[in-house]
Amino acid sequence: MAEINYLTQEGLEKMKAELYDLKYVQRPFLSKQIADARDKGDLSENAEYHAAKEDQGLLEAKISKMENLLSISRIIDESKLSTDKVMMLTKVRVLNHNSKKEIWYTLVNEKEADLKTGKISFKSPIGIGLMNKKIGDISEVVVPAGTIKLEILEITL
């Protein structure tokens, strides 16, 4: 059985909007490009036609992948979350012992991760290191730059 893909309501809406764009904006556009290229004559030497067909194949694969991902997605019920420990959708304030800086992270699905807004994947090295930790716990996380020590200072929703 496939692994469940946990999402926020916001993440689900973004995925649905992207799928809609792929199916009802980009797919018809590519179909028109293929038809226009086909009208230009000999298909065996028509680079535009072959490029458009390749783009169509990539688009269909992306649509299929996204539909499969949506079919295994579940929305996390935020009302059932606890701040006893770090888990998906919790916001956690940590102290980086290496840099002596405090940082806020929100643990989300990898599709929703955006470091600029402090959203990190719960499957990233830092996310894995923080999962199930409680206030006061110190986690040693191996990142590409080396090992960092993160102390859990606060957990909120």
Residues 69 and 66: their CA atoms lie apart, in Å, by 5
Task: Please write the tens of the pLDDT for every residue from 59-76.
Answer: 999 999 999 988 888 888
pTM, to two decimals: 0.66
The three-state (H, E, C) secondary structure of 39-69, written as one string: CCCCHHHCHHHHHHHHHHHHHHHHHHHHHHH
Task: Please write the tens of the pLDDT for every residue from 12-63.
Answer: 898 999 999 999 999 999 999 888 888 877 666 778 888 888 999 999 999 9
- Classify 5-75 by CATH class: mainly alpha
Task: Please write the tens of the pLDDT for every residue from 102-134.
Answer: 999 999 888 888 889 999 998 899 999 999 999
Q: Where are the domains of the chain?
A: 5-75, 78-156
Strands 101-108 and 119-121 turn out to be: parallel
CATH topology of domain 78-156: Chitinase A; domain 3 (3.10.50)
